[in-house]
Amino acid sequence: MDTTKKAQQEYDKMVKQASPNSPIFMNCLKAFISGGIICIIGQLLSNFYTGKDFSKEEAALLVSITLIGLSALLTALGWYEKLGKFCGAGTIVPITGFANSVVSPAIEFKKEGMVFGMAAKMFIVAGPVIVYGTLTSMLVGLVYYFVK
Amino acid sequence: MSKKIGKQTVRLAEGVVILSAASIVGPKEAEGPLSKYFDQKVEDPFFGEKTWELAESKFVEKNMELAVQKANLNPKDIDYVLCGDLLNQCTGSSFGIKNLNIPFFGLFGACSTMGESMSLGAMLVDGGFANHVLTGASSHFCAAEKQFRFPLPLGTQRPPTATWTVTGDGAVVLARKGEGPKIVEITTGKIVDMGVTDANNMGAAMAPAAAALLQAHFEDTGRTPQDYDVIATGDLGTVGRQLVVELLAKEGYEMDSRYTDCGIEIFDDATQDTHAGGSGCACSAVTFCAYFYPKLLAGEIKRMLFIPTGALMSPTSSQQGQPIPGIAHGLVIEGCKKGAN
């Protein structure tokens, strides 16, 4: 079979033609609505906590804790994967997605032991987010320091 | 007399009999269109074990035992067992057959392993090195996802070109003598790399290897696609099948409705949300053993070209940006004469 660069480029065109595209519009719509619903839940929780005489900062912390706890619970019950399949970015972007990405490898790799399995593999998905999140905040901090 | 015909094909002297075929699958396959054909259907993907990997080995063990039983033999009558899977170092197979106590060759051909094991098994029998050879291949959706993609509970979306790894094991007993469909020719595939890097489009990565194999086979034997009742590739799915049809049309071969793909047969995307189709070593293995073998046995299929297909990549090669080379192994299997059984 002809595997020259030219043949590969021609084949790449055939592949693009034969491969159906992801339903981007529907995926965006679902992500917008489901992500929005999660934000509304967050706001309702915030209102609830501030109504219980917590300060705004404390309430924000409690909202995060509640959403993370809920995501972890749903992940353990096996419901989050179904939710994530439907919602896409809607459940990945908020803090719920972060919780899911830590808990799921923890469950999956527990079989390889508590140290080399669960603990070591816990951040295989979330690790890059932490690394580059920290790095970005440092850069932003530097810019803020000099530009202010 | 040389048994080799053409560049990549061998013709076996008297044909090697497929004495029995056995299949076992998980719950998703049991809900699919081929449900009624499988020998064993397991509801629990863990199969009573603690890990996905041990579960896969149990699928292997139970099915290998059944294949031997269906051939009215004992494990001690088998000269060699040849099998493989997708897990690192092929532990799905080795842990599965270790208690059978049969001399073992472990194989890796990615999802083409069923074709590789049947080819080599048939050559062993034809060459006079064995009277009975047990060959098979297995895969497990959960174990494969864990190794190749993401942890299962992670909420992600799969693109429409993605395929679904089949959970199960398919195995056959090959013999020098006896009643059953016969393997008469073997065309061994070459690795074909067309530079596809998208691990979510395995059908496209493997289609060129399947098309190259088919072309080589037709050239070696002088036949055309119309000389077969069924041509079945392993796990190309809808996207890969379409590409094979297009690639062969360019070479002047018309692949009509006689050409199907095991990945298309095993699942129903509309109700099972499997996207482009089934994949994994077990895809071609269980579809052949459960669906095509009985038709060959009954003489409904007179001549079939069975082509398990494989994507020769690892998570490491993929992460390093390497393309996904494909491979395909072809076997011509002739059905029993109608009314002979």
Instruction: For chain B, say whether A105 makes contact (Cβ under 8 Å).
Output: yes
- Judging contacts by C-beta atoms under 8 Å, the chain B residues touching residue A11 are 194-196, 208
A84–B150: do the CB atoms touch at under 8 Å? no
- Chain B residue at shortest CA distance from A27: B157
- Verify that B286 and B214 share a domain, yes or no: yes
Name the minimum distance, in Å, from the CA of A49 to any CA of chain B. 28
Instruction: For chain B, say whether A34 makes contact (Cβ under 8 Å).
Output: no
- Verify that B121 and B252 share a domain, yes or no: no
Q: How many structural domains compose chain B?
A: 2
Model confidence at B341: pLDDT above 50: no
Residue range B31-53: average pLDDT? 97
Q: Could you tell me which residues are beta bridge partners of residue B279?
A: B165
Alpha carbon distance B265, A145 (integer Å): 62
Domains of chain A, by residue range, sit at 26-147
Neighbour count for residue A95 (Cβ, 10 Å): 15
**Mutate which of A5, A11, A15, A95 to disrupt the B interface (most B C-beta within 10 Å)?**
A15
- Verify that B141 and B124 share a domain, yes or no: yes
Quick check: is B29 in a domain?
yes
| Helices (H), ranges, chain A | 5-18, 24-51, 56-77, 80-87, 89-92, 95-108, 120-121, 127-147
Residue range A61-90: average pLDDT? 95
B153–A107: do the CB atoms touch at under 8 Å? yes
List the structure tokens of B55.
């579960």
Nearest to B51 among A22, A100, A111 (CB): A111
Model confidence at B1: pLDDT above 80: no
Model confidence at A68: pLDDT above 50: yes
Domain boundary residue, one of B119, B148, B175: B175
B152–A108: do the CB atoms touch at under 8 Å? yes
CA dihedral B267, B272, B277, B279 (to 10 degrees): -80
Domain boundary residue, one of B118, B144, B175: B175
Alpha carbon distance A148, B67 (integer Å): 76
User: Which residue has 């297009």 as its token pair?
Assistant: B246
Contact B57, B325 (CB under 8 A): no
Work out the angle at residue A112's Cα, subtended by the Cα atoms of residues A107 and A116, and round it to the nearest 5 degrees.
100
Quick check: is B340 in a domain?
no
Contact B106, B93 (CB under 8 A): yes
- Verify that B70 and B86 share a domain, yes or no: yes
The three-state secondary structure class of B116 is helix
Nearest CA among B292, B294, B297, B283 for reference residue B339: B297
Give the confidence band of A56 by pLDDT, cuts at 50, 70, 90.
very high
Q: By a Cβ cutoff of 8 Å, what residues of chain B touch chain A? A: 50-51, 146, 150-161, 192-196, 201, 204, 208, 211-212, 215, 239, 242-243, 246-247
Residue B318 sits in a domain whose CATH number is 3.40.47.40
Contact B63, B170 (CB under 8 A): yes
CA dihedral B242, B243, B245, B246 (to 10 degrees): 120
Name the minimum distance, in Å, from the CA of B197 to any CA of chain A. 10
Q: Is B188 exposed, middle or buried (CB count within 10 Å of its CB: 0-12, 13-18, 19+)? A: buried
A11–B246: do the CB atoms touch at under 8 Å? no
Q: What does the pLDDT look like over B153-203, one tens digit per residue?
A: 999 999 999 999 999 999 999 999 999 999 999 999 999 999 999 999 999
- Verify that B95 and B121 share a domain, yes or no: yes
- Chain B residue at shortest CA distance from A73: B153
Instruction: For chain B, say whether A4 makes contact (Cβ under 8 Å).
Output: no
Alpha carbon distance A56, A47 (integer Å): 9
Nearest to B154 among A22, A81, A111 (CB): A81
Name the minimum distance, in Å, from the CA of A13 to any CA of chain B. 11
Name the minimum distance, in Å, from the CA of A51 to any CA of chain B. 33
- Judging contacts by C-beta atoms under 8 Å, the chain B residues touching residue A8 are 194-195
How many residue contacts between A and B have a Cβ separation below 8 Å?
97
Contacting residues for A141 by C-beta, under 8 A, at least 6 apart: none
List the structure tokens of A128.
């890059």
Domain that holds residue B318: 182-334
- Verify that B165 and B256 share a domain, yes or no: no
Nearest CA among B312, B309, B231, B322 for reference residue B277: B309
Quick check: is B341 in a domain?
no
Name the minimum distance, in Å, from the CA of B70 to any CA of chain A. 35
| Helices (H), ranges, B20-80 | 27-30, 52-70
| Chain mean pLDDT for chain B | 96
- Verify that B108 and B152 share a domain, yes or no: yes
Residue range B237-243: average pLDDT? 97
- Verify that B139 and B249 share a domain, yes or no: no
- Judging contacts by C-beta atoms under 8 Å, the chain A residues touching residue B212 are 1
pTM for the whole thing? 0.95
Name the minimum distance, in Å, from the CA of B158 to any CA of chain A. 8
- How far CA B9 is from CA of B109, B110, B174, B185, B190, in Å, comes to 18, 21, 19, 7, 12
Quick check: is B222 in a domain?
yes
- Verify that B102 and B143 share a domain, yes or no: yes
User: Which residue has 């609830």 as its token pair?
Assistant: A48
Q: What does the pLDDT look like over B14-24, one tens digit per residue?
A: 999 999 999 99
**Mutate which of A108, A122, A123, A124 to disrupt the B interface (most B C-beta within 10 Å)?**
A108
A107–B151: do the CB atoms touch at under 8 Å? yes
Neighbour count for residue B317 (Cβ, 10 Å): 14
**Mutate which of A14, A19, A30 to disrupt the B interface (most B C-beta within 10 Å)?**
A19
Q: What is the per-residue pLDDT for B339?
A: 57
List the structure tokens of B258.
């006689």
Q: What is the per-residue pLDDT for A133?
A: 94
Alpha carbon distance A18, B122 (integer Å): 36
Q: What does the pLDDT look like over A85-138, one tens digit per residue?
A: 999 999 988 899 999 999 999 999 999 999 999 999 999 999 999 999 999 999
Domain boundary residue, one of B175, B190, B215: B175
Give the confidence band of B260 by pLDDT, cuts at 50, 70, 90.
very high
Alpha carbon distance B106, B97 (integer Å): 10
- Verify that B45 and B169 share a domain, yes or no: yes
Alpha carbon distance B210, B145 (integer Å): 24
